[in-house]
Amino acid sequence: MKRRRYLLGVITVPTAGVAGCLSRGSTPDDGSDLTPEDDRDVETVATETFDTDFTPICADGESLESDVEGSYAELVTDHEFFRDAESGRYGVRGRIGPWEGGNIPEVRAEFSDESHAKDTGFGVAEDETYLFTVMASEGNPDAIEGYTLSTDGGGVEDIGPASEEYVTLDGDWGQIGTYDDAPVYGYVGRVDNNHTKDVTLYPHLKAYLDETTVAYAGQSTELGIDVASGDTQTVYFPYPRCDPAKIEYVEGWLEWATMDNP
């Protein structure tokens, strides 16, 4: 098994310059291929049994009739459809290049059968490339004939970074459990509440292929966890791609309601 060191930026997302110091030997994404190389040689770090299918899809991409619309349509530089008839899942892989407008916007996909899904791209910085994965399971993968992507500003008002003085997040990357005996990969984290009061927290994680290429940016499986004062909770971030061993490092942080907390 491959052993790697993973950085966890507990509260705020470090700049690309800081991240770059930890992956000098990596090769930045060159935009040549959206289908990930199958590489799952990672350690088992947790044994959670998931009720939802979070196993990665490794199917090759294909070209379908498609359109990109929305305020940030020009940011989507490439995209492809993928389908896995066996699991009943399908979706769109794509690339959003660096831009000067702040955080990466939310990407939504509506398919020809009117099913839909989205990828939020939490915390991706303006100088980073984001390889998004929009995945759905509502319809029949074999019946999808096309899709439309829309890009709009994401984010939630009155939700901001939590102070590490009160709450912390730490954990490990690798195989985090199984679904129907099939491996699920990603990050398992431990959330500690050292505050004097109970809090509701929103754990976030970014996973990097190299110093400027983000392959995953999302929330934990539980959106908004209630953690009592002095308590600890375990959170999971399933990784949708089939190349977990390619991840060089991760950055995680916690957010909370800024109106209720310092």
Domain ranges within the chain, ordered by starting residue = 16-22+37-50+157-257, 65-152
> Distance between CA 249 and CA 132 in Å, rounded?
17
Mean pLDDT, rounded, for 200-207: 96
Q: Which CATH class is domain 16-22+37-50+157-257?
A: mainly beta
pLDDT in tens, 142-187: 999 999 999 876 555 578 899 999 999 999 999 999 999 999 999 9
Number of CB atoms found within 10 A of residue 113's CB: 17
Number of CB atoms found within 10 A of residue 254's CB: 27
pLDDT band at 102 (very low <50, low <70, confident <90, very high): low
Number of CB atoms found within 10 A of residue 147's CB: 25
Mean pLDDT, rounded, for 14-18: 29
User: DSSP assignment of 121-170, as one string?
Assistant: -TT--TTSEEEEEEEE-SS-GGG--EEEEEEE----TTEEEPPTTTEEEE
Q: What's the predicted TM-score (pTM) here?
A: 0.86
Q: Is the pLDDT assigned to residue 14 strictly greater than 50?
A: no
Q: Hey, is 244 helix, strand or coil?
A: helix
* Residue bearing the bigger pLDDT, 21 or 112: 112
Q: What is the topology classification, in CATH, of domain 65-152? A: Immunoglobulin-like (2.60.40)
Q: Hey, do 16-22+37-50+157-257 and 65-152 end up sharing a CATH topology, with the first three levels equal?
A: yes
pLDDT in tens, 211-251: 999 999 999 999 899 999 999 999 999 999 999 999 999 99
